[in-house]
Amino acid sequence: MVRLVACRGPDLPLGVGIAVPRGDHLDPVPAGSTVVLFTGGLIELSRESIDTGLERLVALAEEHADLPLRSFVRAVTDCHPSDRHDGLAVLVARTPTGPA
């Protein structure tokens, strides 16, 4: 199952205005979860809505969730129908499944 968690409200993009106060956000992540952070280039296309792009990403994430991380990233980026108008960055991490 894929759970989509959006930002808690408007804030500065990462890396912008490092001296300006930013909001703190906390979202517990269950064990064994795959966390995907990405730029708009992964979901935004000029010919469709952002919601459609998010739905496509969720479907890809569900389809490839069991792959090793490197293969997972390759799958979601290779299946992206980019129009090459926006940069693309993806950061993926998987939480441990049990006590270390």
pLDDT recorded at residue 32: 85
Is residue 12 a contact partner of residue 20, using CB atoms and an 8 Å limit? yes
User: Tokens in use for 58?
Assistant: 């969720």
Kindly tell me if the per-residue pLDDT of 2 is higher than 70: no
Is residue 61 a contact partner of residue 34, using CB atoms and an 8 Å limit? yes
* Interval 9-32 mean pLDDT: 76
How far is it, in rounded angstroms, from Cα 92 to Cα 73?
7
pLDDT recorded at residue 11: 72
Note the pLDDT tens digit of each residue in 30-84.
888 888 888 888 888 878 888 888 888 889 898 998 899 999 999 988 887 665 6
Kindly tell me if the per-residue pLDDT of 7 is higher than 90: no
pLDDT recorded at residue 84: 62
